[in-house]
């Protein structure tokens, strides 16, 4: 699905120098690379603050804690996402409230959010799934009307734009994952929270480092969730290329669209006024499981299902008592989506081969 080696080969020398430089400096935690990366990512998003943490999951967890989310609260999110989105809500003691998705964008259906708001609702966590921004105008208007925090899950959307603004810079906080296969990925785990709010940034800074601003003085129970300097050094190198990487993903997606047009699969939509960064190239297919099996048997390409079970039907969330049929649009998406290999360095030939195999399987 993703060939990380081809990209590594293009930056190998720079990465080796940077990683060896960190070793030689013996400054491994909370050093100059982390700070420089935070400044660069904040400036890229046009916000004042960025705090690097140990993973995208931690970014969401610490952001929600900083937003004051606690036991007994409710947080509205999408059921059609990686489980980390909901886990982060659960870690705070709050309950995730799943709202069905839009069938075209696969993101939370903003028209269905208001009906899910109760006296306990404190926040909304939209996910910009596959790199396609959620409908943030409608969502922000609802949040304002009901006094709710908005924590954007941008794990799959680094560089994506909604009406000229970068995802992550629209809500109160934006949370990124630097998992290796992400649009901006490191060589291990990593994440970041960005925000325009100095108070929230200060709180995440403290939470990531044992609830402490001054060494050995602890204002609250915090966590060990710091991005190490080796990962930050790698990310600074890859960050210089992230726009070019995203351009290439877009070009690859358009090539797939051309090859697959008229084939019977529904290509991903790029909503007007948005920039989709194609973390995944995900099509909809009728009879998806049979098509995937034929594709697997042909052994020409890999393909993946992100995600086969929506979160409200996961065993981990059985206590919510939600049954099949309760969020039909997400459930249908889970039955129909199929993601094809996507990364910047895919060649035109590879795309033609994958598309040919898909058409044959259809
Ligand atoms: C939508 C979404 N949210 C959160 C995460 C969690 O990020 P991480 O794996 O860095 O903890 C991921 C990544 O896997 C993701 O895809």
Give residue 149's pLDDT band: very low, low, confident or very high (50, 70, 90): very high
pTM flag (> 0.95): yes
Q: Ligand 1 centroid to 25 CA: how many Å? A: 31
Q: Is the CB of 127 under 6 A from ligand 1?
A: yes
Q: Which two tokens stand for residue 17?
A: 């120098």
| CB hemisphere CA count around 296 (13 angstroms) | 11
Tell which atom from ligand 1 comes closest to the C-alpha of 177: 10
- Most informative mutation of 179, 305, 342 for ligand 1 (most atoms within 8 A of CB): 179
Distance of alpha carbon 295 from alpha carbon 298, whole angstroms: 5
Distance of alpha carbon 188 from alpha carbon 340, whole angstroms: 23
Q: Ligand 1 centroid to 259 CA: how many Å? A: 30
pLDDT value for 37: 98
Closest residue to atom 12 of ligand 1, CA basis:
155
pLDDT one-digit tens code per residue, 312-348: 999 999 999 999 999 999 999 999 999 999 999 999 9
| Other Cβ atoms within 10 Å of 93 Cβ, number | 12
pLDDT one-digit tens code per residue, 124-146: 999 999 999 999 999 999 999 99
Closest residue to atom 8 of ligand 1, CA basis:
56
pLDDT value for 175: 99
Q: Which of 362, 121, 164, 123 is nearest to 263 (CA)?
A: 362
Give residue 355's pLDDT band: very low, low, confident or very high (50, 70, 90): very high
Q: Is the CB of 191 under 6 A from ligand 1?
A: yes
pLDDT value for 44: 98
| Other Cβ atoms within 10 Å of 17 Cβ, number | 11
Q: Ligand 1 centroid to 144 CA: how many Å? A: 26
Closest residue to atom 7 of ligand 1, CA basis:
56
Tell which atom from ligand 1 comes closest to the C-alpha of 279: 16
Share of the chain above pLDDT 70, in %: 100
Share of the chain above pLDDT 90, in %: 100
pLDDT value for 110: 98
If you average pLDDT over every residue of the chain, what do you get? 98
Mean pLDDT of 283-310: 97
- DSSP E strand boundaries for the chain: 49-53, 74-77, 95-98, 121-125, 149-153, 161-162, 165-166, 173-177, 191-195, 212-214, 217-218, 274-275, 281-284, 337-340
Q: Ligand 1 centroid to 19 CA: how many Å? A: 25
pLDDT value for 240: 98
pLDDT one-digit tens code per residue, 251-264: 999 999 999 999 99
Q: Is the CB of 317 under 6 A from ligand 1?
A: no
Q: Is the CB of 80 under 6 A from ligand 1?
A: no
């Amino acid at each position: 699905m993703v060939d990380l080696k081809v990209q590594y080969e293009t930056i190998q020398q720079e990465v080796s120098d940077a990683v060896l430089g960190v070793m030689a400096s013996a400054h491994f935690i909370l050093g100059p690379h982390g700070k420089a990366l935070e400044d660069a990512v904040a400036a890229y998003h046009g916000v004042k603050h960025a705090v690097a943490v140990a993973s995208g999951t931690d970014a969401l967890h610490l952001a929600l804690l900083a937003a004051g989310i606690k036991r007994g609260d409710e947080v509205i999110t999408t059921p059609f996402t990686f489980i980390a989105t909901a886990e982060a809500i659960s870690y705070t003691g709050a309950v995730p409230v799943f709202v069905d998705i839009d069938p075209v964008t696969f993101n939370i259906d903003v028209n269905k959010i208001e009906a899910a708001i109760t006296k306990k609702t404190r926040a909304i966590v939209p996910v910009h799934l596959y790199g396609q921004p959620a409908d943030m105008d409608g969502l922000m208007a609802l949040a304002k009307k009901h006094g709710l925090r908005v924590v954007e899950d941008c794990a799959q959307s680094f560089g994506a734009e909604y009406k000229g603004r970068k995802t992550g810079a629209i809500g109160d906080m934006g949370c990124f994952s630097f998992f290796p296969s992400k649009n901006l990925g490191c060589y291990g785990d990593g994440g970041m929270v960005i925000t325009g709010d100095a108070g929230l940034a200060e709180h995440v800074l403290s939470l990531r480092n044992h609830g402490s601003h001054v060494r050995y003085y602890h204002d609250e129970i915090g966590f060990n969730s710091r991005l190490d300097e080796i990962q930050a050094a790698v990310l600074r190198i890859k960050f210089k290329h992230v726009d070019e990487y995203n351009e290439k993903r877009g070009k690859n997606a358009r090539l797939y669209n051309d090859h697959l047009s008229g084939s019977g699969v529904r290509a991903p939509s790029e909503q007007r006024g948005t920039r989709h960064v194609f973390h995944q190239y995900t099509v909809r297919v009728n009879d998806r499981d049979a098509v995937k099996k034929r594709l697997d048997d042909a052994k020409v390409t890999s393909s993946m299902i992100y995600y086969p079970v929506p979160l409200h039907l996961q065993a981990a969330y059985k206590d919510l008592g939600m049954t099949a049929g309760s969020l039909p649009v997400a459930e249908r998406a889970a039955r129909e989506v199929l993601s094809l290999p996507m990364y910047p360095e895919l060649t035109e030939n590879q795309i033609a081969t994958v598309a040919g195999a898909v058409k044959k399987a259809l």
